Amino acid sequence: MLEIWGRADSSNVQAVMWCVGELGLPFLRHDVGQRYGGTDTPDFIAMNPNRKIPVLRDGGGPALWESAAIMRYLAGSYGHGAFWPEDLVARSEVDRWAEWAKINVAIPFMDEVFFPLIRRPAAERDPAAIARAVTDLEQTLGIAESRLAEHPYLVGSDFSLADILLGHVLYRYYDIDIARAELPALAAYYQRLTERPPFREHVMIGYDALRAG
C-alpha cells in the first residue's frame, strides 16, 4: 500500500493524489504540513531533508519526494497505455508536456497569482502585479489552448500524466476571483477533467484554510 504524507489542500499533494486515484491504487494519507505541522520532526526530515510535502513510500521502499518525480515513479510502476507509454518516443512526448505544464503553468500560477491573492491580506496585495502575472500566465495557456483546440487532451486523444500536471491547478484558476481571458478549448478541457471521479475527489477541494486571516 502507498503511504503519503501531505495535507489534502496542497496543490502538489493534490496532483499526486489525483495520479494515485487514476491508477486505482490503495493508499493511506497523513495530514502533514502548514497548519498540521509535522515537517520538522526527525522522522520526516529523515524522509525528506527539504521538509516539504508530499512524501511517498510504496510498501517498504524508500521515501520519495518532489511531486513530479513521485508521479513519474507511480506512472512507471503502475501506469499503462497512453497514460505513460512504454515506447520511449511516445513517453517523451507525455513527459515533455508534463514538464512544460509544471514549470510554465503550475509554478507561476501558484507563486505569482494564487498565493499573492489568497494568502495575503487584501491590504498587502498588489493588484497590478497579480493582473500582470495573470496576463503572462494566459499567454502561456494560449499554447495549451492551441493544442486543446485540436485534441481532447494535452498530448492527444487520451488522458495522460501530462494532463495531471496541467489540470491540477485549473480548479483554482477557474475558482478564484480574477478576470480571465477567453480560452474556450481550455475551458472545455477543464469541464472534461471535472467529470473524472479522481479529479473531483482529490482536486476539487476547498482552500479556505489557506486564506489570510
pTM, 2 dp: 0.97
Q: For residues 66 and 111, what is the distance between their CA atoms, to the nearest angstrom?
A: 17
The x, y and z cell numbers of residue 35, run together, are 497548519
Condensed to tens digits (0 to 9), the pLDDT of residues 90-138 reads: 999 999 999 999 999 999 999 999 999 999 999 999 999 999 999 999 9
- C-beta of residue 161 within 8 angstroms of C-beta of residue 79: yes
Whether the domain at 2-79 and the domain at 86-196 fall into the same CATH topology = no
- Locate the domains of the chain by residue range: 2-79, 86-196
Alpha helices in 2-66 (DSSP H): 11-23, 42-47
Classify domain 2-79 by CATH architecture: 3-Layer(aba) Sandwich (3.40)
Q: What percent of the chain has pLDDT over 90?
A: 99
Condensed to tens digits (0 to 9), the pLDDT of residues 158-182 reads: 999 999 999 999 999 999 999 999 9
User: In sequence order, what are the residues at sequence separation of 6 or more whose Cβ sits closer than 8 angstroms to the Cβ of residue 3?
Assistant: 27, 28, 29, 30, 56, 57
Condensed to tens digits (0 to 9), the pLDDT of residues 48-86 reads: 999 999 999 999 899 999 999 999 999 999 999 999 999
- Can you list the pairs that 117-126 forms with residues at least 24 positions away whose Cβ atoms lie under 8 Å? 117/176, 117/177, 117/178, 118/176, 118/207, 118/210, 118/211, 118/212, 119/210, 119/211, 119/212, 120/212, 121/212, 121/213, 124/212
CATH number for the region 86-196 comes to 1.20.1050.10
Average model confidence (pLDDT) for the chain? 97
How do 2-5 and 55-58 pair as beta strands? antiparallel
Q: For residues 13 and 168, what is the distance between their CA atoms, to the nearest angstrom?
A: 10
Which residue in 68, 74, 86 sits closest to 162, CA to CA? 68
